[in-house]
Amino acid sequence: MPARRTSALAAALAACNPPAREVAPAAPPPAAAPAPECAPPPPAALAYLSDATCPWVLVPGDSAEMALRATDMVAPRALVVSLPEGCAADNCRFSGLVTAVGPMLLAVRSDPASELPDAAYLGAALGGGAIRFAPLWFGRAVVGDSTALGPSHALAPWLCGDALVLAVAGRLAEAASEEPPDALRRAAGVYEVAGDELRRSDRPVPEDMKRCTRVALDLP
């Protein structure tokens, strides 16, 4: 009897105190990606485009071309920028941003007599090696207080998936009472880089523009 009681007591103690389980060591946290090494922008930069890593900078070139360069020192990239006709560093101002389809530039040309804008162009490479420009202004200029203010309507850039769409938009109060010029309507559509041009393609414009995103450029 004492032996049975001892066995029963040992079994009860074992049930109350199960053997410890082996604990697997925790996996080490993933190593953080190294921070990008960005070169400082050159003093002569004409535009500064923020990116998720290193910014892009527009730097002067000859009279007809400039360069848009990524400042990433590990993976440097550069795009040739073929300027629109009549646009140079001394009479155009440049701005831009990096989008899902690559960098985009806005070039605004000034009238030398008034220093007010007299033309606007959008530039994009769309996966190519050079940024080409297309005009955003068409038609006659509205005149206010004897000053040419540019057309009442213009083209505005949108991204619809991988497509760049230039759509008609009002830019002055007169747009509410005026029809866009025929040349502007014909220029609206999906754009592509073909040869040395950024031009309208035959690709149809999406029917539902609500699914598209307006490119956040500060248009003149």
Q: How many domains does the chain have?
A: 1
Pairwise pLDDT comparison (8 vs 190), residue with the higher score: 190
| Triad 18, 19, 22: Cα angle to 5° | 130
Whether residue 207 lies inside any domain: the answer is yes
pLDDT in tens, 7-26: 554 555 455 555 555 555 56
Closest CA relative to residue 208, chosen from 155, 154, 153, 165 = 165
36: in domain: no
Q: Give domain status of residue 56, yes or no.
A: yes
Helix (H) or strand (E) holding 4: helix 2-16
Domain extent, residue 175, equals 43-214
Is 164 inside any structural domain? yes
pLDDT of residue 113: 79
> What is the reported pLDDT for 9?
47
What is the model's pLDDT at position 207? 86
Q: Which residues contact 151 (CB under 8 A, 6 or more apart)?
A: 137, 138, 139, 140, 141, 142, 171, 172, 181, 184
Q: Give 31-66 pLDDT, tens digit per residue.
A: 555 557 899 988 989 999 988 889 999 998 866 789
pLDDT higher than 80, residue 134: yes
Identify the band that residue 162 occupies on the pLDDT scale cut at 50, 70 and 90. Answer: very high
According to DSSP, the residues that pair with 49 across neighbouring strands are 56
Does any domain span residue 85? yes
pLDDT in tens, 105-116: 999 999 887 888
CA distances from 183 to 17, 61, 79, 154, 179 (A): 88, 32, 30, 11, 11
In a domain, 13, yes or no: no
pLDDT of 208 reads 87
Provide the CA 38 distance to its chain's centre, in angstroms.
Answer: 19
- Does residue 220 fall inside a structural domain? no
